[in-house]
């Protein structure tokens, strides 16, 4: 039975009036076009009543923001900080209005704690628009903005920069209790302009991770992982070009020099250390490392269930090996994002691996998914941490988020997500996909890769929880168990479900596991359409009072489903859009 819509008129008008009243309190520099002109100095204020008028570039949140304009009067470094502000800030500098990602020339999320700092080399007479916003849509509050000039930095240098020129050979070792073990050889290069440290007896040498993945039936999954080979000396060979011999010989990898470790060395168990002791973002680890003793041929090497690589059990499957170098000086120069390469491998039997393609240089393993499967989207989810190296800028930590949707032809769609933690020490602890109210989900699934050989991590699968407006996959929190099954570096986890809602461009959220960094990373990925039918908000095929209750539940929670006008925020305008559609008995 339909409710008398007139009953709700008073509450609707009150809601819209409240939204209008809030608008009167907006700051004078609420819009980019009304930016406050400033010079060097300290400026305070609040964004609490501001609205959104731009996007930062490095963070896609359409948060509350205010604007400042600097007309440069000298050719120096323009430095802007929000240190000391009372909320999680994001700063960006733009060359014009409106402020967009395309005209952002500098952007930063976290520099001094959760506050930001940006800088550009200013040109006399040039106008620069400074956007001060928040990390999340609703982040705002009191701010302190410091604008200053500084001497420009010295000309940039590449620093040390390791990458993998080739995966050279692949070896099978043994099978025990249905688990087969493997190792992969590597030939690494230095494309920087400074030697890379390759010192054997301390923590100034690379460690090498080896992984194996499978693409089958639209799913890209990690099957196995190794411990870390510790480098010990460089041959400074010429596989990368004209090698410039470094001052310290084999204790460094020189500019344009190469160094190869065959599968026999990368699989040498006595020189394999645990991943758990390495901060992959900064490249720092203890040396000598500590590890439980090993025995048998499969320990510490890549471990894979034999049935996962048996041809009869996996018709049409493609397999890919990935190797990843981590070294301290390379990472702290923020050159760590190109340190992995992958190569296709075939299995005539689980005991007979062989190469089946060329090395895909400077590409993470997950990048084999879109390269070999149409309809896959792949997006980096990045954040920054401070470099321990004096005078260096921040280090970028990255997750790769892949997704594919499949129309099942029966009014349902399969959603498949794969996330590879490339170099985040904070790890992943949860994954959230927003849903429209009333969506029906089946075939909810999770897949991970187990740690082994005495690593301290719990391998318990993540749980899933479906709420009226989303599905969340999660492990235990860091406070509950520091060794919970988080999505740690060099691993890839899968999340999947079937829904009765067609896909649309959406935004998903990856919650981080360790404290001290961002709470979550948000970014684009296909997801069930949130605004497939605005009037029938609860997705039950009718326009009635239940839609009103469901809408206000979403609206009060501020979830994305309640953003009925699609402007990136949940406010009074969304209520108006909903009621117009609801009263008309239509979808929009």
Determine the distance from the C-alpha atom of residue 344 to the mean position of all C-alpha atoms in its chain, rounded to a whole number.
25
Same domain, 414 and 290: no
Same domain, 258 and 315: yes
Same domain, 303 and 206: yes
Same domain, 300 and 424: no
Instruction: Answer whether residue 157 is part of any domain.
Output: no
Q: Where a domain ends, among 356, 373, 390?
A: 373
Instruction: Answer whether residue 574 is part of any domain.
Output: yes
Same domain, 215 and 352: yes
CB 443 within 8 A of CB 498: yes
Q: Where a domain ends, among 127, 150, 173?
A: 150
Same domain, 518 and 536: no
Rounded Cα–Cα distance for residues 58 and 397 (Å): 13
Binned average pLDDT, 10 residues per bin, the chain of 588 residues: 43 47 74 95 94 81 92 90 93 90 78 84 92 91 94 77 98 98 98 94 94 98 98 95 92 96 98 98 95 96 98 97 97 97 98 98 98 97 91 93 98 98 98 96 98 98 96 98 98 98 96 96 96 84 85 88 86 85 82
217 Cβ contact partners less than 8 Å away, ≥ 6 residues apart: 316
Write out the DSSP string of 84-147.
Answer: T-SS-EEEEEESSSSB-STTEEEEES-SBTTB-EEEEE--TT-EEEEEEEESSTT---EEEEEE
Determine the distance from the C-alpha atom of residue 512 to the mean position of all C-alpha atoms in its chain, rounded to a whole number.
10
Same domain, 424 and 450: yes
Q: Please give the residue range of the domain that contains residue 78.
A: 31-150
- Please tell me what DSSP assigns to residue 277: G
Same domain, 146 and 254: no
CA-CA-CA-CA torsion sign (532, 535, 536, 541): negative
pLDDT at 303: 98
Closest to 449 measured CA to CA, from 226, 261, 258: 226
Domain count, the chain: 4
Rounded Cα–Cα distance for residues 101 and 78 (Å): 19
Same domain, 322 and 382: no
Same domain, 236 and 256: yes
Rounded Cα–Cα distance for residues 312 and 175 (Å): 18
Same domain, 131 and 225: no
Closest to 531 measured CA to CA, from 587, 471, 466: 587
Closest to 446 measured CA to CA, from 466, 426, 412, 474: 474
Q: Where a domain ends, among 97, 125, 150?
A: 150
CB 41 within 8 A of CB 147: yes
Compute the half-sphere exposure of residue 522: CA atoms within 13 Å on the CB side of its CA.
16
Rounded Cα–Cα distance for residues 91 and 56 (Å): 7
Closest to 90 measured CA to CA, from 103, 81, 100, 102: 81
Residue 22, SS3 per DSSP: helix
Specify the CATH number for the domain of residue 510.
2.60.40.1170
Q: Beta 395-407 vs 377-385: how paired, if at all?
A: antiparallel
Per-residue pLDDT tens over the stretch 97-132: 998 877 887 777 877 888 988 888 888 999 999 999
pLDDT at 584: 81
Instruction: Answer whether residue 155 is part of any domain.
Output: no
Same domain, 143 and 166: no
Instruction: Answer whether residue 156 is part of any domain.
Output: no
pLDDT at 60: 66
Across 169-201, b (16+ Cβ under 10 Å) vs e yields bbbbbeeeeebbbbbbbbbbbbbbebbbbbbee
Specify the CATH number for the domain of residue 92.
2.60.120.380
Instruction: Answer whether residue 271 is part of any domain.
Output: yes
Rounded Cα–Cα distance for residues 69 and 64 (Å): 17
Determine the distance from the C-alpha atom of residue 227 to the mean position of all C-alpha atoms in its chain, rounded to a whole number.
23
CB 399 within 8 A of CB 380: yes
Rounded Cα–Cα distance for residues 279 and 520 (Å): 19
pLDDT at 18: 46
pLDDT at 19: 45
| Angle CA 390–395–396, to nearest 5 | 170
pLDDT at 537: 84
Closest to 34 measured CA to CA, from 99, 107, 120: 99
């Amino acid at each position: 039975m339909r409710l008398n819509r007139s009953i709700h008129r008073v509450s609707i008008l009150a809601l819209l009036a409240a939204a209008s009243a809030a608008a009167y309190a907006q700051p004078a520099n609420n819009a980019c076009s009304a930016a406050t002109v400033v010079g060097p100095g300290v400026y305070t204020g609040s964004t609490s009543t501001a609205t959104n008028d731009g996007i930062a570039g490095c963070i896609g949140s359409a948060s509350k923001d205010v604007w400042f304009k600097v007309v440069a009067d000298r050719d120096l470094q323009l430095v802007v900080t929000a240190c000391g502000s009372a909320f999680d800030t994001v700063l960006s500098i733009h060359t014009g209005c409106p402020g967009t990602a395309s005209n952002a020339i500098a952007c930063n999320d976290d520099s001094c704690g959760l506050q930001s700092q940006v800088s550009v080399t200013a040109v006399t007479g040039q106008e620069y628009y400074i956007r001060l916003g928040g990390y999340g849509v609703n982040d705002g509050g009191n701010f302190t903005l410091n604008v200053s000039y500084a001497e420009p930095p010295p000309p940039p240098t590449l620093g040390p920069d390791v990458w993998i020129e080739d995966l050279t050979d692949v070896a099978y070792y043994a099978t025990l209790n249905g688990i087969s073990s493997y190792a992969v050889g590597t030939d690494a290069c230095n494309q920087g302009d400074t030697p890379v440290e390759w010192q054997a007896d301390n923590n100034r040498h690379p460690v090498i991770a080896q992984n194996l993945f499978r693409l089958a039936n639209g799913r890209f999954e990690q099957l196995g992982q190794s411990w870390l080979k510790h480098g010990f000396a460089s041959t400074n060979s010429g596989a990368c070009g004209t090698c410039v011999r470094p001052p310290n010989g084999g204790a460094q990898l020189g500019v344009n020099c190469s160094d190869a470790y065959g599968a026999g060395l990368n699989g040498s168990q006595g020189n394999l250390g645990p991943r758990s002791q390495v901060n992959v973002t900064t490249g720092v680890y203890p040396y000598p490392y500590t590890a439980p003793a090993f025995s048998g041929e499969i320990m510490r090497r890549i471990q894979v269930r034999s049935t996962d690589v048996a041809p009869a059990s996996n018709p049409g499957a493609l397999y890919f090996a990935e190797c990843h170098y981590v070294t301290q000086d390379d990472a702290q120069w923020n050159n760590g994002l190109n340190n992995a390469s992958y190569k296709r491998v075939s299995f005539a039997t689980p005991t007979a691996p062989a190469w089946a393609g060329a090395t895909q240089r400077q590409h993470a393993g997950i990048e084999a998914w879109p390269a070999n499967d149409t309809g896959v989207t792949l997006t980096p989810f990045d954040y920054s941490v401070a470099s321990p190296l004096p005078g260096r800028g921040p280090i970028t930590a990255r997750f790769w988020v892949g997704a594919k949707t499949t129309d099942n032809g029966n009014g349902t769609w399969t959603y498949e997500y794969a996330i590879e933690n490339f170099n985040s020490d904070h790890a992943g602890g949860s994954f959230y996909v927003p849903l429209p109210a009333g969506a029906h989900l089946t075939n909810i699934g999770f897949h991970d890769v187990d740690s082994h050989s005495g690593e301290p991590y719990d391998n318990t699968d993540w749980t899933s929880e479906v709420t009226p407006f989303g599905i969340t996959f999660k492990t235990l929190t860091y406070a509950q168990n520091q060794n919970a099954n988080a999505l740690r570096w060099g691993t890839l986890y899968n999340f999947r479900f079937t829904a009765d809602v067609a896909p649309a461009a959406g935004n998903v959220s990856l919650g981080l596991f360790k404290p001290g960094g961002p709470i979550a990373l948000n970014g684009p990925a296909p997801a069930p359409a949130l605004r497939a039918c605005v009037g029938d908000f609860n997705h039950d095929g009718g326009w009635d009072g239940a839609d009103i209750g469901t809408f206000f539940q979403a609206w009060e929670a501020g979830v994305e489903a309640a953003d009925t006008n699609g402007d990136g925020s949940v406010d009074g305008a969304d209520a108006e859009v909903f009621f117009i559609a609801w009263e008309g008995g239509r979808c929009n």
